[in-house]
Structure 1
């Protein structure tokens, strides 16, 4: 393999001329293609979106690639875009062990975490909803219908609201809102200790049309900014109890795409944060009638 060819391959790569790379290498008889050439070929196929062909090429040099973090990284890319996340995770973990703290590798590991989190939480949320009796959950008063309740959210609306909030909404919450989008529950109290409760005014729905929707006139961002509340997540309920304040989805420990805890944030200047539930489903199931 000549130095001139290697320089040309690198130049084509820098100029995003990936098909030129493929064409040039494919003209070389297979028996004359070494580890470096096949690595270039596989990378070019990845960049062209031909991940199956890329993977086939990489597998022909698997024995040599075992000790090469770049080989594992490129194989991981192929698996990732083929949506074979378990295999991609394996390869990127090996890459991270060989070349710790590589930013691209860490980014792919984070993307895989998000993808697999969606995959593992979607079905349980639906199953949990089926096991929960919503027949007497909501109090559809005239006020509730006017201030809280919207039409069921579309996939596009959910995505745009999450983008505006910069937080991934819990799967149980989204599934619940698809059945009844916001409102005032029959039971509005949540126990915080021995004979202590916080009481909520209502639950915000996904949307912008109603005043108390997540992105409405009195939505989450507005409440946080006007009330000086800590920017730890999403306000889902206002409180009507003694300390007033709000109930929030708290993403500090989970990250913006993880499963948030549910907390009460007081209205006083220090905005005391009190954990209520490990997740939104637990919070909903824990609502009681104080009376």
Structure 2
């Protein structure tokens, strides 16, 4: 996953270690997937190199894909666990996303759609699926887990 990031941005948090991950899980009320935690230990969020996710359904973004911009890290003012305007709980409330888990990515649409970890089937300690939530706020499963989601991302224009 060393080729995952293209640079740092406001969503790049402080260096992540076991304690920061444990604190984030406590604040969020969910166990973070190990594949996400592993990425955080390498770099705690940031701009992505591969941003396009192919779909078999149309989105408000395109007929056959959506795009993500940044993976949101943990800790600090802009982490998914923050209480401010970038935290997952705030984004769920502000944008009316379904309360099914954790918002993980900064999207080019500025909030009109989201990619989330979906804990409905696995519970708060399980391995969540990844869903895409469009303007209709219906979660559509796009990957069985976070690791698969990252593997399926492609470069823009692909």
**TM-score range with shorter-chain normalisation?**
0.7 to 0.9
Q: Which runs of 5+ in 2 are unaligned?
A: 58-62
Give per-residue Cα distances to partners, 1:80-111, cap 9 Å, x unaligned. Answer: xxxxxxxxxxxxxxxxxxxxxxxxxxxxxxxx
Q: Which runs of 5+ in 1 are unaligned?
A: 1-132
Write the distance in 1 (CA, Å) between the matches of 2:106 and 2:124: 21
Shift of 1:241: 5.3
Shift of 1:267: 2.7
* TM-score, normalization by structure 2: 0.87
Write the distance in 2 (CA, Å) between the matches of 1:153 and 1:242: 26
Give per-residue Cα distances to partners, 1:12-63, cap 9 Å, x unaligned. Answer: xxxxxxxxxxxxxxxxxxxxxxxxxxxxxxxxxxxxxxxxxxxxxxxxxxxx
Q: Does 1:232 align with 2:95?
A: no
Q: Select which of 105, 125, 147 maps to 1:281.
A: 147
The alignment partner of 1:256 has SS state of coil
Q: Select which of 20, 23, 28 maps to 1:157.
A: 20
Which fold has the larger relative contact order, with Cα–Cα distance below 8 Å and residues 6 or more apart in sequence? 2
Count of equivalent residues: 150
Q: Does 1:137 align with 2:4?
A: yes
- How does 1:185-224 map onto structure 2 within 5 Å? 185-193=48-56, 196-207=64-75, 209-211=76-78, 213-216=79-82, 217=84, 218-224=86-92
Shift of 1:152: 2.0
Write the distance in 2 (CA, Å) between the matches of 1:224 and 1:190: 21
- Contact 1:198–1:239 (CA<8 Å) still a contact in 2? no
Instruction: Point out 4+ residue stretches in structure 1 off by more than 6 angstroms.
Output: none
The alignment partner of 1:254 has SS state of coil
Write the distance in 2 (CA, Å) between the matches of 1:204 and 1:248: 11
- Contact 2:98–2:139 (CA<8 Å) still a contact in 1? no
Shift of 1:274: 1.0
Write the distance in 2 (CA, Å) between the matches of 1:231 and 1:193: 24
Write the distance in 1 (CA, Å) between the matches of 2:109 and 2:97: 17
Mean Cα deviation higher: 148-157 or 168-177: 148-157
Q: Which has the larger strand fraction?
A: 2
The alignment partner of 2:15 has SS state of coil
Asked which structure has the greater CA Rg, the reply is 1
Shift of 1:221: 0.7
- How does 1:246-257 map onto structure 2 within 5 Å? 246-257=114-125
- Contact 1:238–1:245 (CA<8 Å) still a contact in 2? no
